[in-house]
Amino acid sequence: RQMAGVLRFAAVLMLFALFGAAPALAGNSQVFVDPPNDNEGGFGFASDITSIEAVSADNGDVTFRITLVDPPARMVTGDELDVFLDVDSNTQTGNSLGFDVLLQARGADGAAPSFFFCRVLSDRTMCETGIAGFASDRQTATSTHVVEFNLEQSNRTVYRFAVLSQYTGPSGTVY
Q: Are 18 and 167 in contact (CB under 8 A)?
A: no
10: Cβ contacts below 8 Å, ≥ 6 apart: 1, 39, 40, 44, 46, 47, 48, 70, 78, 79, 165, 166, 167, 175
Report d(CA 155, CA 151) in Å as an integer. 10
Mean pLDDT of 127-135: 94
Report d(CA 11, CA 164) in Å as an integer. 9
For residue 52, give the nearest of 62, 42, 43 by alpha carbon.
Answer: 62
With a cut of 80, say whether residue 2 has pLDDT above it: no
Report d(CA 44, CA 6) in Å as an integer. 11
Average of per-residue pLDDT values in the chain: 80
Which of the two residues, 40 and 109, has the higher pLDDT score? Answer: 109
Q: Are 63 and 149 in contact (CB under 8 A)?
A: yes
pLDDT computed for residue 8 by the predictor: 27
Report residue 14's pLDDT band, with 50, 70 and 90 as the boundaries.
very low
Mean pLDDT of 56-78: 89
With a cut of 70, say whether residue 26 has pLDDT above it: no
